[in-house]
Structure 1
Amino acid sequence: MFNIVIVEDEPIELESLRRIISQCVENAVIHEASTGKKAIQLIDQFNHIDMIFVDINIPLPNGNQVIEYLRKKSADTKVIVTTANDDFDIVRSMYNLKVNDYLLKPVKKSILIDTIKKTLEVNEDDNEKSRALKQKVFTLIDECRYAPWHSLLFDMINGACHIDGHNEEQRKEVIDFLEIVSQYTTVQGEKLAPTHRKVTAMIKDINQYGIIENRYFRVIFGLLTISEELFDYAFKNYSGNIDFIERAKFHIEKNILRNLTLDDVAAKSFVSPCYLSRAFKKITGIGFSNYIATRKITIAKSLLQFSDMKVNTIALELAYQDSNYFCRIFKKETGLAPSDYRKIVTPAESAALA
């Protein structure tokens, strides 16, 4: 995911730049500043900016001063200057500030696209991969497909969790995923503004600390909370038909860390408990209670493998008040006791945590 800042005081120019960048860099998060003061605020706000477009003739501080300020903070940010002035002295001063390119207005679209791709070293395969992930994320939320969403979430987080907690490539995929979620909340506007802030905080947290065993549940709990807000919003705005079985599954996923009863889920599904129980088994091929157990044990397996939580703590977090009962359910589902499962998936850590 690329953090890109556009510093431009002409609304038409700014909109044109934003549109072209969005078209040629699929995984771009674009920030805008119409004055030098706002640009400096953005520079202070972000830990890293991949590329910045600066119009030299913006209101004070001018573009030259903005770039000077940026260079005190970052030598790595790619800088593209845009201006209608072709004065040689200005051009020379720009290159003294390690500007990557200097474009005279009006800039042809083809030249701008080539400059962006060359400067950022945009990989078309990465663009396509990001495009596919964005479509998947937006579709899962908009269609209220809660269970597949949770599966994607855990796949992403677990993929970034190795013993040392520093799998950089996989962690970048998690950040890219969360940036796409952030884009979704931004598109929805003020109604998801609180959720957007939580996603932003989560991105900062993972960037700073990674996803190590003593923080694993904190990350998962935060993401499940964010997911609940996203899917509550999507559910309220969904225009399609959701049958009572899908309503039941939705309610189960929403409350996966809480105690779930047949009566509660049936009430949310607008059918009687007896009817839901019979129909659930007939339609899904698995009993209602077994379905809930399977979903909870899936989370338990991740907690056993990637967190430092003790077995009885995991049981409580999954709303099993009796840890012995949790152990029986876990063994029934997996064929192993929780402590034995942990020894297999995390042999180096098992002795202290079981």
Structure 2
Amino acid sequence: MYNIVIVEDEPIETESLRRIISRCVDNAVIHEAATGKRAIHLIDTLEQIDMMFVDINIPLPNGNQVIEYLKSKNNDTKVIVTTANDDFDLVRSMLNLKVDDYLLKPVKQSILTETIKKTLDVNEADIAALKELKQTIICLIESCDYAQWHSFIFKKLDDACTRKSLTADQRKTVTDVLEILHQYITTQGDKMVPTGKKIAALIQDITQHGLTSTAYYRIMIGLLTISEEVFDHALKHFNGNMDFTERAKFHIEKNVLNNLTLDDIAAKSFVSTCYLSRAFKKNIGTGFSNYIASRKISIAKSLLQFSNLKVNTIALELSYQDANYFCRIFKKETSMAPSDYRKIVSPELH
């Protein structure tokens, strides 16, 4: 994902730049500033700015001052200056500020597109992968496939944590998903604004603190909370057909950390407990209790491998009041005790 800032006080120019950038960089989050003051605010608040387009003749602070401030905070940001003024002294001052390119207005679309791709070193394979990721995310949400969504996001999280070096690339595996989710949420109306803020906060948390064993559980809870809000919203607007077993799976995922009973899930699925029990086994291929156990143990395995939570704490977080019972369920699912599993998959946490 790319954070791109447009610093421009002419609405027509801003819209033109936004349109061209959106076509050129599919995975861009575009921010706008009509004044130097607003640009300074974005520099202070955004964790990362990959590229900034700056019109020199914006209201004070002017473009030069904005670029100087940006360079003092983050010298890695690519800066493209746009201006209608073809002045040698101005060009020389831009060179002194070490901007990446200088474009005269009106900028042709072909020139701007080439400049963006060259400056950002856009990789077409990466763009294609992000497009596919975006399609997957939107498809899972709009089909209300809550169970598959949880499997998807926790695989992304666990795959990232499997990498031993705590690098930006490791975090990017997860933050790309969250950035796309944030983009999607912004199209869903004012009611989803609080969810968007939670996503932004989680992105900042991961960016700043990484994916350590100390942070893992906090990040997991953040993902579960965000997912619940996203899928509650999706269910209200779902136009497809969801049979009662799929509805049961939906409510199991929503309450996966809680104590789940057949009576509760049957009531939420609008069928009798006996009918749900029989149909669940027939349609899903496993019994109701076994399905819940497998979903909980899947989470337990991740917590044992990637978090520093103790076995007893993990049992409680999954609503197993008796840690010994949790251990028996875990051993039934995996053929080993939780402590033995942790010794194998994450000996440094033992």
Q: CA deviation at 1:26?
A: 2.0
Work out the number of aligned pairs and report it. 350
1:216 and 2:216 matched: yes
Aligned pairs (5 A) from 1:65-214? 65-162=65-162, 166-214=166-214
Equivalent in the alignment of 1:279: 279
Equivalent in the alignment of 1:44: 44
Q: CA deviation at 1:295?
A: 0.5
Residues of 2 paired with 1:71 and 1:221: CA distance? 36
Q: CA deviation at 1:346?
A: 1.3
Q: CA deviation at 1:224?
A: 0.3
Residues of 1 paired with 2:118 and 2:184: CA distance? 28
Aligned pairs (5 A) from 1:249-288? 249-288=249-288
Q: CA deviation at 1:162?
A: 4.0
User: The residue matched to 1:188 in structure 2 has which SS?
Assistant: coil
Q: Is the 8 A contact 1:3 1:30 kept in 2?
A: yes
- Partner AA of 1:346 in structure 2: S
- Partner AA of 2:38 in structure 1: K
Q: Is the 8 A contact 1:5 1:33 kept in 2?
A: yes
Identity of aligned residues (%): 69
Distance verdict in 2 for CA 1:281–1:314, change over 3 Å? same
User: The residue matched to 2:186 in structure 1 has which SS?
Assistant: helix
Residues of 1 paired with 2:198 and 2:349: CA distance? 31
Q: CA deviation at 1:172?
A: 1.3
Which one is further off, 126-135 or 65-74?
Answer: 65-74
Aligned pairs (5 A) from 1:341-352? 341-350=341-350
| Unaligned segments of structure 1, at least 5 residues | none
> TM-score if structure 1 supplies the norm length?
0.96
Root mean square deviation, CA, Å: 1.2
Residues of 1 paired with 2:229 and 2:92: CA distance? 51
Q: CA deviation at 1:190?
A: 1.2
- Partner AA of 2:196 in structure 1: H
Residues of 1 paired with 2:195 and 2:144: CA distance? 17
Equivalent in the alignment of 1:64: 64
Q: CA deviation at 1:167?
A: 4.3
Q: Is the 8 A contact 1:160 1:167 kept in 2?
A: no
Q: Is the 8 A contact 1:164 1:212 kept in 2?
A: no
The Cα offsets for residues 76-114 of structure 1, whole Å up to 9 and x where unpaired, read as 111101111111111111111111111111111111000
Q: CA deviation at 1:164?
A: 5.0
| Unaligned segments of structure 2, at least 5 residues | none
> TM-score if structure 2 supplies the norm length?
0.97
Q: Is the 8 A contact 1:165 1:212 kept in 2?
A: no
Residues of 1 paired with 2:259 and 2:215: CA distance? 24
Q: Is the 8 A contact 2:47 2:204 kept in 1?
A: no
